[in-house]
Amino acid sequence: MTSVLRNFWPGASSSKNDDHDDEYSVEYSFAVEYSGPPLSHEIPQVVPVDVRRIPTAAVAANAVIIRNLAIPVLQPIGRKSDKSGNNSSIERKLSTGSRVGESVRDRGVYSSKLESFSEKEGVLEGRSVDAHNVFGESSSSSGTMGFSDGRDDSNQLSGSSDCEEMEEENKANVSNDDLSETTTCNSIEELEEECEAEASGAASRAPVVTFRDLSLTDSASEESDQDEAAMSPERPGLVEDVKGLCHRCCRKERFADREVCIVCNAKYCSRCVLRAMGSMPEGRKCNPCIGHRIHEPKRGTLGKSSRMMKKMLTRDAVKKIMSAELSCPVNQLPPHLIYVNDKPLSIEELVTLQSCSNPPKKLRPGRYWYDKVSGFWGKEGEPPCQIISPLLQTGYQIRRDVSNGATNVLINGREITNRELWLLWAAGIRYEGEPHFWISADGSCKLEGMNNVIAKLWEKKQAKMLCMALSLPLPSSRANPAGEDSVRERENVAMRIERSMMYKLLLVGCDQSGTSTIFKQAKILYNVPFSEDEKQNIKNMIQRNLYRYISILLEGREHFREEDAMDLRRRRADKPGPSVVKEESDHVDEKNAYSFSRNLENFSSWLQQITMTGNLEAIFPAATREYSPLVEELWKDKAFQAIYKRRNELPMLPRVANYFLDRAVEISRMDYEPSELDILYADGVTSSNGVASMEFSLPKSSQDGYMETLDHNEPPLSCELIRVHANSLGVNCKWLEMFEDSDLVLFCISLTEYAEYHEDINGTRSNKLLETKRLFERIITHPTLADKQFLLILNKFDLLDEMIYETPLSQCEWFQDFNPVMSKHPHNPNSNNNPSLAQRASHYVGVKFKRLFYSLTGRKLFVVQATGLEADSVDKALRYGKEILKWEDERHTVSMNQDSSESFDPSSSAYTS
Ligand SMILES: Nc1nc2c(ncn2[C@@H]2O[C@H](COP(=O)(O)OP(=O)(O)OP(=O)(O)O)[C@@H](O)[C@H]2O)c(=O)[nH]1
Ligand SMILES: [Ca+2]
- Give 276's pLDDT tier (boundaries 50, 70, 90): very high
Atom 21 of ligand 1: nearest residue by CA position: 516
Q: Please give the distance, rounded to the nearest whole angstrom, from the Cα atom of residue 514 to the centre of ligand 2.
A: 7
Residue whose C-alpha is closest to residue 382's, from 474, 471, 443: 471
Q: Measured from the CB, is residue 750 less than 6 Å from ligand 1?
A: no
Taking the C-alpha atoms of residue 754 and residue 804, their distance in angstroms, rounded to an integer, is 10
- For the residues 782-789, what does the mean pLDDT come to? 88
- Using DSSP bridges, classify how beta strands 436-439 and 453-456 pair: parallel, antiparallel or unpaired: unpaired
The pLDDT value recorded for residue 44 is 66
Outline where 805-909 has alpha helix (H). Answer: 837-857, 871-896
The pLDDT value recorded for residue 831 is 56
- Give 201's pLDDT tier (boundaries 50, 70, 90): very low
- Known binding site for Mg(2+): residues? 516, 688
Atom of ligand 1 nearest to the CA of 655: 27
Q: Measured from the CB, is residue 656 less than 6 Å from ligand 1?
A: yes
Q: Measured from the CB, is residue 873 less than 6 Å from ligand 1?
A: no
Please say if the pLDDT value at position 156 is more than 80: no
Taking the C-alpha atoms of residue 127 and residue 59, their distance in angstroms, rounded to an integer, is 8
Q: Measured from the CB, is residue 753 less than 6 Å from ligand 1?
A: no
Identify which of 517, 518, 653, 876 to mutate to test ligand 1's pocket (most ligand atoms within 8 A of the CB): 517
Pick the ligand that lies closest to the CA of residue 724: 1
The pLDDT value recorded for residue 552 is 93
Q: Please give the distance, rounded to the nearest whole angstrom, from the Cα atom of residue 359 to the centre of ligand 2.
A: 39
pLDDT in tens, 224-234: 333 333 344 56
Integer angstrom CA distances of residue 330 from 887, 895, 905: 63, 64, 65
Atom 27 of ligand 1: nearest residue by CA position: 683
- Give 31's pLDDT tier (boundaries 50, 70, 90): low
Q: Measured from the CB, is residue 865 less than 6 Å from ligand 1?
A: no
Identify which of 508, 510, 516, 795 to mutate to test ligand 1's pocket (most ligand atoms within 8 A of the CB): 516
Q: Measured from the CB, is residue 803 less than 6 Å from ligand 1?
A: no
Atom of ligand 1 nearest to the CA of 516: 15
- For the residues 259-267, what does the mean pLDDT come to? 92
Atom 2 of ligand 1: nearest residue by CA position: 796
Q: Measured from the CB, is residue 686 less than 6 Å from ligand 1?
A: yes
Pick the ligand that lies closest to the CA of residue 510: 1
Output the pTM of the full model: 0.49
Please say if the pLDDT value at position 368 is more than 80: yes
Q: Please give the distance, rounded to the nearest whole angstrom, from the Cα atom of residue 782 to the centre of ligand 1.
A: 26
Pick the ligand that lies closest to the CA of residue 798: 1
The pLDDT value recorded for residue 58 is 52
pLDDT in tens, 857-905: 999 999 999 999 999 999 999 999 988 988 877 766 555 554 433 333 4
- Give 49's pLDDT tier (boundaries 50, 70, 90): low
Q: Please give the distance, rounded to the nearest whole angstrom, from the Cα atom of residue 515 to the centre of ligand 1.
A: 7
Domains of the chain: 53-222 (no CATH), 335-484 (no CATH), 503-526+717-817+835-900 (3.40.50.300), 532-681 (1.10.400.10)
Atom 23 of ligand 1: nearest residue by CA position: 685
Taking the C-alpha atoms of residue 313 and residue 827, their distance in angstroms, rounded to an integer, is 69
The pLDDT value recorded for residue 182 is 31
Q: Please give the distance, rounded to the nearest whole angstrom, from the Cα atom of residue 507 to the centre of ligand 2.
A: 14
Atom of ligand 1 nearest to the CA of 510: 20
Q: Measured from the CB, is residue 798 less than 6 Å from ligand 1?
A: yes
Residue type, 759: E
Pick the ligand that lies closest to the CA of residue 751: 1
Identify which of 683, 687, 727 to mutate to test ligand 1's pocket (most ligand atoms within 8 A of the CB): 683
The pLDDT value recorded for residue 239 is 84
- Give 137's pLDDT tier (boundaries 50, 70, 90): very low
Contacts of 509 (CB under 8 A, 6+ apart): 515, 725, 726, 747, 748, 749, 750, 772, 793, 795
Residue whose C-alpha is closest to residue 749's, from 445, 530, 408, 518: 518
Atom of ligand 1 nearest to the CA of 866: 31
Integer angstrom CA distances of residue 10 from 83, 145, 216, 275, 755: 14, 12, 35, 15, 61
The pLDDT value recorded for residue 791 is 97
Q: Measured from the CB, is residue 689 less than 6 Å from ligand 1?
A: no
DSSP 572-636: HHHS---HHHHHHHHHHHHTSTT---HHHHHHHHHHHHHHHTT-HHHHTTTTHHHHHHHHHHHHH
Q: Please give the distance, rounded to the nearest whole angstrom, from the Cα atom of residue 515 to the centre of ligand 2.
A: 8
pLDDT in tens, 543-591: 999 999 999 999 999 888 888 888 888 888 876 655 555 544 454 455 5
- For the residues 340-368, what does the mean pLDDT come to? 87
Atom of ligand 1 nearest to the CA of 513: 20
Taking the C-alpha atoms of residue 144 and residue 321, their distance in angstroms, rounded to an integer, is 8
pLDDT in tens, 720-751: 898 888 877 877 787 787 787 788 999 999 99
Q: Which residue has the higher pLDDT, 469 or 742?
A: 742
- Quick check: 538 and 532 in contact, CB under 8 A? no
Q: What angle, 0 to 180 degrees and rounded to 10, lies between the N-to-C axes of helices 99-121 and 150-159?
A: 30
Q: What is the DSSP letter of 74?
A: E
The pLDDT value recorded for residue 825 is 59
Q: Please give the distance, rounded to the nearest whole angstrom, from the Cα atom of residue 866 to the centre of ligand 1.
A: 12
Atom 7 of ligand 1: nearest residue by CA position: 514
- Quick check: 105 and 47 in contact, CB under 8 A? yes
Q: Please give the distance, rounded to the nearest whole angstrom, from the Cα atom of residue 622 to the centre of ligand 1.
A: 26
Pick the ligand that lies closest to the CA of residue 725: 1
The pLDDT value recorded for residue 6 is 37
Q: Measured from the CB, is residue 142 less than 6 Å from ligand 1?
A: no
Q: Please give the distance, rounded to the nearest whole angstrom, from the Cα atom of residue 809 to the centre of ligand 1.
A: 21
- For the residues 834-838, what does the mean pLDDT come to? 88
- For the residues 182-190, what does the mean pLDDT come to? 37
The pLDDT value recorded for residue 241 is 77
The pLDDT value recorded for residue 80 is 43
Which of 22-26, 347-351, 569-573 shows the lowest mean pLDDT across its residues?
22-26
- Quick check: 284 and 325 in contact, CB under 8 A? yes
Taking the C-alpha atoms of residue 813 and residue 683, their distance in angstroms, rounded to an integer, is 30
Taking the C-alpha atoms of residue 871 and residue 864, their distance in angstroms, rounded to an integer, is 15
Integer angstrom CA distances of residue 512 from 727, 734, 795, 858: 11, 21, 10, 29
Q: Please give the distance, rounded to the nearest whole angstrom, from the Cα atom of residue 838 to the centre of ligand 2.
A: 23
The pLDDT value recorded for residue 754 is 96
- Quick check: 545 and 682 in contact, CB under 8 A? yes
Q: Which residue has the higher pLDDT, 80 or 513?
A: 513
The pLDDT value recorded for residue 53 is 67
Q: Measured from the CB, is residue 417 less than 6 Å from ligand 1?
A: no
Q: Which residue has the higher pLDDT, 93 or 446?
A: 446
Q: Which residue has the higher pLDDT, 177 or 546?
A: 546
Pick the ligand that lies closest to the CA of residue 520: 1
- What is the distance of C-alpha 29 from the center of its chain? 52
Which of 265-279, 835-849, 898-912 shows the lowest mean pLDDT across its residues?
898-912
The pLDDT value recorded for residue 84 is 43
Q: Measured from the CB, is residue 799 less than 6 Å from ligand 1?
A: yes
- Quick check: 280 and 324 in contact, CB under 8 A? yes
pLDDT in tens, 90-136: 334 333 333 333 333 333 333 333 333 333 333 333 333 333 333 33
pLDDT in tens, 509-530: 998 899 999 999 999 999 999 8
Percent of the chain with pLDDT over 70: 64
Torsions phi, psi of 260, nearest 5? Answer: -110, 135
Pick the ligand that lies closest to the CA of residue 517: 1
The pLDDT value recorded for residue 547 is 92
The pLDDT value recorded for residue 635 is 92
The pLDDT value recorded for residue 140 is 37
Classify residue 913 by burial, with Cβ atoms within 10 Å: 0-12, 13-18, 19+.
exposed
- Give 448's pLDDT tier (boundaries 50, 70, 90): confident
Q: Measured from the CB, is residue 517 less than 6 Å from ligand 1?
A: yes
- For the residues 326-332, what does the mean pLDDT come to? 83
Atom of ligand 1 nearest to the CA of 870: 31
Q: Please give the distance, rounded to the nearest whole angstrom, from the Cα atom of residue 685 to the centre of ligand 2.
A: 6
Q: Measured from the CB, is residue 526 less than 6 Å from ligand 1?
A: no
Atom of ligand 1 nearest to the CA of 515: 20
The pLDDT value recorded for residue 810 is 93
Q: Please give the distance, rounded to the nearest whole angstrom, from the Cα atom of residue 517 to the centre of ligand 1.
A: 5
The pLDDT value recorded for residue 82 is 42
Indicate the SS3 state at residue 369.
Answer: strand
Please say if the pLDDT value at position 908 is more than 60: no
Outline where 442-531 has alpha helix (H). Answer: 461-469, 484-498, 515-525
- Give 714's pLDDT tier (boundaries 50, 70, 90): low
Q: Which residue has the higher pLDDT, 482 or 403?
A: 403
Pick the ligand that lies closest to the CA of residue 723: 1
Residue whose C-alpha is closest to residue 267's, from 308, 230, 215: 308
- Quick check: 211 and 170 in contact, CB under 8 A? no
- Using DSSP bridges, classify how beta strands 691-698 and 744-750 pair: parallel, antiparallel or unpaired: unpaired
- For the residues 176-182, what does the mean pLDDT come to? 35
Q: Which residue has the higher pLDDT, 695 or 196?
A: 695
The pLDDT value recorded for residue 826 is 56
Taking the C-alpha atoms of residue 512 and residue 18, their distance in angstroms, rounded to an integer, is 68
Percent of the chain with pLDDT over 90: 30
pLDDT in tens, 392-442: 988 899 999 999 999 999 999 999 998 898 888 888 888 788 899 999 988
pLDDT in tens, 754-777: 999 988 888 889 999 999 999 999
Classify residue 437 by burial, with Cβ atoms within 10 Å: 0-12, 13-18, 19+.
buried
Which of 160-164, 243-247, 263-267, 404-408 shows the lowest mean pLDDT across its residues?
160-164
Q: Measured from the CB, is residue 692 less than 6 Å from ligand 1?
A: no
Atom 3 of ligand 1: nearest residue by CA position: 796
DSSP 159-177: HT---HHHHHHHHHSPPTH
Arithmetic mean of pLDDT over the chain: 72
Q: Measured from the CB, is residue 728 less than 6 Å from ligand 1?
A: no
Pick the ligand that lies closest to the CA of residue 796: 1
- Using DSSP bridges, classify how beta strands 343-344 and 338-340 pair: parallel, antiparallel or unpaired: antiparallel
- Known binding site: residues? 516, 688, 795-798
- Quick check: 364 and 390 in contact, CB under 8 A? no
pLDDT in tens, 794-820: 999 999 999 999 999 999 999 999 988
Please say if the pLDDT value at position 661 is more than 90: yes
Q: Measured from the CB, is residue 654 less than 6 Å from ligand 1?
A: yes
- What is the distance of C-alpha 397 from the center of its chain? 32
Please say if the pLDDT value at position 197 is more than 90: no
DSSP 247-304: TTT--B-TTS--EE-TTT--EE-TTTHHHHHTT-BTBS--GGGTTSPP-GGGGGGTT-
